[in-house]
Chain A
Amino acid sequence: MFDSLSERLTSLFNRLRGKGALTEDDVSSALREIRLSLLEADVHYKVVKELIERIRERAIGSEVFDSLTPGQQVLKIVRDELAATMGEERRSLSLESRPSAVILVGLQGSGKTTTAAKLAASLKKDGRKPLLVACDLRRPAAVEQLERLGEGIGVPVFKDLELSPPEAARAGLAAAADTLRDVVIVDTAGRLQIDEDMMAEIGEIAASIEPEERILVVDAMTGQEAVNVAVAFDERIDLTGVILAKADGDARGGAALSIRHVTGVPIVYLGTGERVDRLEPFHPKRMAERILGMGDVLTLIERAEEQFDGERAKDLVKRIRDDRFTLQDFLEQLEQMRRLGPLSQLLEHLPGGANLAGSEVDEMELRRTLAILRAMTVEERLNPSIIGGSRKKRIARGSGTKVRDVNRVLSHFEAARRALKSFGSRRGKGRFPADLLGAR
């Protein structure tokens, strides 16, 4: 849908190539592209304005003019500026007192209840004993939703429909102390930041339990309003953190940048799926890259590192460089890749990958390839050149495919081997594949 900013800048500066030195006008056209890109990512327009000024100063006063790759240089300045705005690396929740309290607030439909369950699950995993407290007594079945989620993760839910929300919060905290739960997570009703009564109520709830963490849950798809919302909640209950929900879609999430810039409140987590284990730490630099449309390659690398066996990966890189990569390695790689999760989800982390997911990459194709590889003997996988006509027929029969499918896999493999070889020999420069394989 969007061309990535890096593509736009590269083509812009390519046009300028051969003109000799860059002028201030050239920088201005680059800045126009950057402005558009940030606005398309839903960064607040006032924040965009300030950022552009800062970027202009740095670009004009810097190495950009002399650089051979001005596009990359400008992009780096933009990314660094964005990352700096986004603040420090993740900070975990601070929940020292016993019992301590977290309150979740936000607009209707931002994802508070699901986030409450995710937080509870994550705290439980860390050895805490959370108690979910239902304070959304307005939306039909909101309490039931929290109860179901609590059942699913084995975390008790406190509710008392007779009480007002501030009373329910206080009673929940007392119940936690009585039942030896050490942290309460209070799920509140969605409210508009301009609804005076409801905002007064959230102030009362916060005052009644004095929670250590006061978290705003924001939909990653939010537009220019995000700033107004965050400022209003921050003024009322002095927010300590923000969770960006529904960040697993293709929204670029400029809201995160705007909120951080305007309120100074750090983003703590991203919600990245409907399942309760889908809560990821926030990384400023990655978010900056995502807002710029550079894709979330680093997250993918990190996940790959969790899955891949480091020693074997190093060995593999060596084999690739020595051009000893075989179908056996190919099969093992595909099997490891499967363990990372469905292909579509992997692709969402790559630049432009969200557009690829589902439409062009076929999960069935991958399965077919795996079946064909598994139908080969070890000898065939180690030495594909022995695979002649009759072996192909046998492999096709064994994998339930056609000979032309076997041919396709063999030629894909040959292409991949050559590509990997060229990556392998460029180590240090094109670090991506080596990193992806877990060898640092």
Chain B
Amino acid sequence: MSPWFDRLKAGLSKTRNGLTGSLSSILRGGGLTGADLEALEEVLIAADVGAKVAIELVKGLSGALRRGDDDPIALLKELILERLAGSERPLSLRSDGSPSVVLVAGVNGTGKTTTIAKIASLLRAADPDLPITFAAADTFRAAAIEQLSIWAERVGGDLIGHRPGADPAAVVFDAVDHVIKRGGVLFIDTAGRLQTKHNLMEELKKIERTVQKKLGRPSDERLLVLDATTGQNGIAQAERFHAAIDLTGLVLTKLDSTAKGGVVLAIREALGLPILFVGVGEAAEDLDAFSARQFVEALFD
């Protein structure tokens, strides 16, 4: 088990008792009663899987179970894993020596800046000489540029930023210019925006267009940072951001809380996006590759 799973488990120990209690009572009885199925459905709903997906899963389970005395929970886990097949993928950077661009977007307060810092720290740990550039394209929120520049200093990288209130696309223009000369990886930190804000979503599209114009190709990664405590609105977030910038993947943050981030199952179903990383704490090293197996285990912890 990786360290993030241990930390996850440590974090979860407080709530685990209640859930295992209701589950083991299912196990003791042998066959599954209607009440058992409902209890399982509730475990999934409590993990923010959403009523629709939870009902489908439990229906699938009761259909599959008749074959004998399968362990219902193990079977349910397999059913969820099937839905997550192909969801694991590492960060995809250019290997041909040309610069890589990682665009990071999301609603307010999901942890975009921290996530960038964490991914950059991983890259830095793997290669002390890799040039890393940070584009402070959140020119709206007070002190967002300072927050990123503190991280840029800690990780060791260049910060490209303009004054507060500047056009984010102009920042990105300069940053891509910089990374073309310098090589390495560019992280674009965008302002938090609710997916219903038309103008802000247009601004985000403009940022990606700027990259394309300047670089002659799209960003290598266009990541949506999703807070694990988010409920069913996560689906709307993913759909709208995907429609705007054609996402390449998700990062699920704050999984060190008791939240399970179950909404990614519905997102996965709707959009088929891979999940690259999970955030499990505030420190720079609290980031791990997403593991479907561990995610599913945690749903039932």
Binding site for B on A (CB under 8 A): 1, 35-36, 39-42, 45, 107-111, 138-142, 144-149, 152, 192-194, 219, 221-226, 228-229, 246, 248-252, 254-255, 274, 344, 348, 354, 357-359
Taking the nearest CB of chain B, how far is it from the CB of A199, in angstroms?
11
Query: Residue B122 at the A interface, CB < 8 A?
Result: no
> In the assembly, what is the distance between CA of A103 and CA of B234, in Å?
29
Contact yes or no, A39 B50, CB < 8 A: yes
Taking the nearest CB of chain A, how far is it from the CB of B184, in angstroms?
22
Give 10 CB contacts A-B under 8 Å: A42-B232, A108-B109, A109-B110, A139-B282, A144-B143, A219-B230, A221-B230, A223-B229, A274-B108, A358-B198
Interface residues of B in 40-65 (CB under 8 A from A): 42, 45-48, 50-52
Contact yes or no, A192 B256, CB < 8 A: yes
Query: Residue B11 at the A interface, CB < 8 A?
Result: yes
Query: Residue B150 at the A interface, CB < 8 A?
Result: yes
Taking the nearest CB of chain A, how far is it from the CB of B241, in angstroms?
12
**B140 to chain A: closest residue by CB:** A274
Contacts of A45 in B (CB 8 A): 42, 45-46
Contact yes or no, A225 B194, CB < 8 A: no
Taking the nearest CB of chain A, how far is it from the CB of B228, in angstroms?
8
CB within 8 A of A40: which of B51, B141, B227?
A: B51
Query: Residue B147 at the A interface, CB < 8 A?
Result: yes
> In the assembly, what is the distance between CA of A424 and CA of B230, in Å?
43
Interface residue tally for chain B (C-beta within 8 Å): 52
Binding site for A on B (CB under 8 A): 11, 14-15, 42, 45-48, 50-52, 107-111, 140-144, 146-147, 150-151, 164, 194-199, 201, 227, 229-237, 239, 254, 256-259, 262-263, 282
CB within 8 A of A141: which of B110, B146, B164, B232?
A: B146
CB within 8 A of A109: which of B42, B109, B144, B199?
A: B109
Taking the nearest CB of chain B, how far is it from the CB of A121, in angstroms?
13
Q: Give the number of A-B contacts (CB < 8 Å).
A: 155
Contact yes or no, B47 A1, CB < 8 A: no
Contact yes or no, A1 B236, CB < 8 A: yes
**B261 to chain A: closest residue by CB:** A223
> In the assembly, what is the distance between CA of A152 and CA of B111, in Å?
24
> In the assembly, what is the distance between CA of A252 and CA of B50, in Å?
14
> In the assembly, what is the distance between CA of A108 and CA of B253, in Å?
11
Contact yes or no, B140 A357, CB < 8 A: no
Most central of B46, B111, B150, B201 by chain A CB within 10 Å:
B46
